[in-house]
Amino acid sequence: MTITFDKLPKNLDELKALPESSLSEPEYTAALFIAVMMHYMENKEETYAMLEYLKGPYGLSTFEKQFLADRMADGKDCVVRSFFNGTSPDNDYTPSIPYTIETERGFDQEIEGRMKIFLVSSGADSKRHILLRHKPSTNQWFVEDQLLLGMVRVPKTQDPWA
């Protein structure tokens, strides 16, 4: 499923105003995770508030905040940008507008109320996934765990061998 954003949310109110914030489809939650993380370098606290919304009953732990700080340190926001269509190491992972993200459900679909959604990173050799958990009482999908923020190929302007 292709998810398209005309603009990316900068705070919780803007996130909640997006139709995808219903979280009624697991793909919505997966794509919103990437959209929200695009704001991390600008304002961590607002990003945390948006991630709390996407985590639902789980909340965002201190460990997860430290993990995000480590993964986003030293300008590594190119990892997040790499999930948008049109990006590549050659264009320094610059997404085009509107922002689009391709999502794909895992092979096993839903197991015990959980589902893996795979995303393509233009800087990685294989798809990466985010694990979501369904809350039947609200029919929403929330982030349980993610394996999206691993390293990607170095952007061309930062590559000493380019």
- Report the C-alpha gap between 137 and 119 in whole angstroms: 27
- pLDDT tens per residue across span 35-69: 999 999 999 999 999 999 999 998 999 999 999 99
- Report the C-alpha gap between 115 and 143 in whole angstroms: 10
For residue 85 the two structure tokens come to 């269509």
CA 101 distance to own-chain centroid: 9
- Report the C-alpha gap between 49 and 24 in whole angstroms: 20
- pLDDT tens per residue across span 64-106: 999 999 999 887 889 999 999 999 999 999 999 999 999 999 8
Who has greater pLDDT, 104 or 157? 104
Q: Taking 80 as the threshold, does the pLDDT of residue 160 lie above it? A: yes
141, 69 Cβ separation under 8 angstroms: no
DSSP 7-76: S---SHHHHHHSGGGG--SHHHHHHHHHHHHTTTTT-HHHHHHHHHHHHGGG---HHHHHHHHHHHGGGT
135, 56 Cβ separation under 8 angstroms: yes
pTM: 0.94
51, 36 Cβ separation under 8 angstroms: yes
For residue 36 the two structure tokens come to 């929200």
